Amino acid sequence: MRAVRFIEPKIVRNILFLLFALPGVAFASWVSRTPAVRDSLQASTAEMGTIIFGLAAGSLIGLLSTGHIISRLGARSVILGSSFMILTGFIIVATGTSLTSTSVVFGGLAIFGCGHGAAEVALNVEGSTVEHQLNKTLLPAFHGSFSAGTLVGAAIGSVAASTHIPVALHFGVLSLLIALATLYFYRFLPAATGKEETSTTEKSGSTLKQQLAVWKERRILLIGFIVLGMAFAEGSANDWLPLIIVDGYNVSSNIGTYIYALFVAAMTIGRFTGGFVMDKFGRVPVLKVSAILAAIGIVLVIWGQHYLVAAFGVVLWGLGASLGFPVGLSAAGDEPQGAAAKVGAVATTGYLAFLVGPPVLGFLGEHYGLLNAMVVVLIGVVLAGLLSDAAKPIGIKGNKTKNLAKT
């Protein structure tokens, strides 16, 4: 058997903080320029919903197809490949915007989304391995690094929008910088993480049966609804928030981008502090308070009457939405038996919200206005809060309590 080069886990940990942040930079850069893209394409609200659907559909494909590829090639190869899918999609979106072609932008977002979904799986596999090697909870901080990357991307987008830098130039330069960083740092990752030497048909069939069987468990089904509601709240802001503020409050695209940056900052703070808060107060209370904060924030955005009130609501919305998805995934994995299938099922539920959300909100926004369309998101958050008792920790013994509370 070929010897595997050992890489110090602390080095891998440090590199992962950066690699988690890079997709966030790219993603927030796209979101921050959606008003400019919409104006260039002269797209209606419903058409923008369809265009953004390409991103969600691509993400779901990447999420569902990556596990098998990782087992063959390892997480490092997938991280590199997914990064270049993100950048390829990014450049295609820029090209489509310049050509005012909605179909090209849609295709670019589908590629971008596929790379984004694949990167999320591969990076979490790598991050989970480092957690075990260092015996330290790191995934919440890694996800916080992604949120920090979105904050950087939103800030760059704000500057680009305020200085009227063309979308093609903005995306092109950023793609080059991200590509150079990825090429340099990915080589410090171990090549064998996630790679399996053998894969049998029997194992695959067993995995498929497990994935289908988990939906018979009432607890997993309820956790799925929690994640659905909270992911809907997170995804709707990421997809629509700049346009919601611009169209709903008749302000400039610059203000819409600045307020989106507030959402990203709140998400970042929520994720970096979430481990400490959950360790102190417990998972269920944190989920309930998160749902209440998100609900109050959405109410202020819908009925705030002034964009400054809406901006305060956006901060509450971001803080409330920051922990729903990761806490739901943690709850699904409480029991070691079948944990992978359960976590995968709940993650798919979250991405279902990302997939269905854009066209649904686009359709409702076209007929009733984007602010009024957010009532659907509000209902989802309230239901998630009411169901939060389903995420009560189970199957936790000894020292695992502390770590699971943080995830």
Mean pLDDT value of segment 98-110: 93
Contacts 24+ apart (CB under 8 A), 172-175: 172/91, 172/94, 174/25, 174/26, 174/29, 174/90, 175/26, 175/87, 175/90, 175/91
Domain map of the chain by residue range? 7-197, 200-407
Contacts 24+ apart (CB under 8 A), 249-252: 249/306, 249/307, 249/310, 251/307
Architecture of domain 7-197: Up-down Bundle (1.20)
pLDDT value of residue 28: 86
Q: With CA atoms as reference, report the closest residue to 230 among 335, 309, 319.
A: 319
pLDDT value of residue 107: 94
Q: With CA atoms as reference, report the closest residue to 11 among 218, 161, 216, 190.
A: 190
What are the tokens at 362?
A: 């686009």
391 neighbors 327 (Cβ within 8 angstroms)? yes
Phi-psi region of 115 (alpha: psi -120 to 50; beta: other; left: phi over 0): alpha
Architecture of domain 200-407: Up-down Bundle (1.20)
Give the CA distances from residue 232 to residues 5, 53, 186, 350, 396, in Å, rounded to whole numbers and listed in that order: 42, 13, 32, 8, 29
Mean pLDDT value of segment 61-87: 82
Instruction: Give burial (CB, 10 Å; 0-12/13-18/19+) of 343.
Output: buried
Q: How many helices (H) and strands (E) does the chain have?
A: 16, 0
Mean pLDDT value of segment 90-117: 91
The CA distance from 358 to 47, in Å, is 10
Answer yes or no: is pLDDT of 405 > 80. no
What pTM was computed for the model? 0.71
Banded model confidence at residue 211, pLDDT cuts 50, 70, 90 = low
Span between the terminal Cα atoms of the chain, in Å: 36
Answer yes or no: is pLDDT of 402 > 50. no
- Number of Cβ atoms within 10 Å of the Cβ of 101: 16
Mean pLDDT value of segment 206-218: 65
What are the tokens at 378?
A: 């509000």
Write the pLDDT tens digit of every residue in 213-258.
Answer: 777 888 889 999 999 999 999 989 988 898 899 989 999 888 998 8
Phi-psi region of 2 (alpha: psi -120 to 50; beta: other; left: phi over 0): beta
What are the tokens at 357?
A: 């959300």
User: Token match 């994995």: residue?
Assistant: 333
Answer yes or no: is pLDDT of 339 > 70. no
Mean pLDDT value of segment 252-274: 88
Answer yes or no: is pLDDT of 94 > 60. yes
pLDDT value of residue 401: 39
Comparing 20-34, 170-184, 190-204, 225-239, the range with the smallest average pLDDT is 190-204
Mean pLDDT value of segment 198-203: 46
The CA distance from 108 to 92, in Å, is 5
Strands (E), 29-105: none
Banded model confidence at residue 343, pLDDT cuts 50, 70, 90 = low
Banded model confidence at residue 196, pLDDT cuts 50, 70, 90 = low
Banded model confidence at residue 88, pLDDT cuts 50, 70, 90 = very high
pLDDT value of residue 249: 93
pLDDT value of residue 197: 61
Write the pLDDT tens digit of every residue in 365-384.
Answer: 888 888 999 999 999 999 99
Mean pLDDT value of segment 291-312: 96
pLDDT value of residue 321: 93
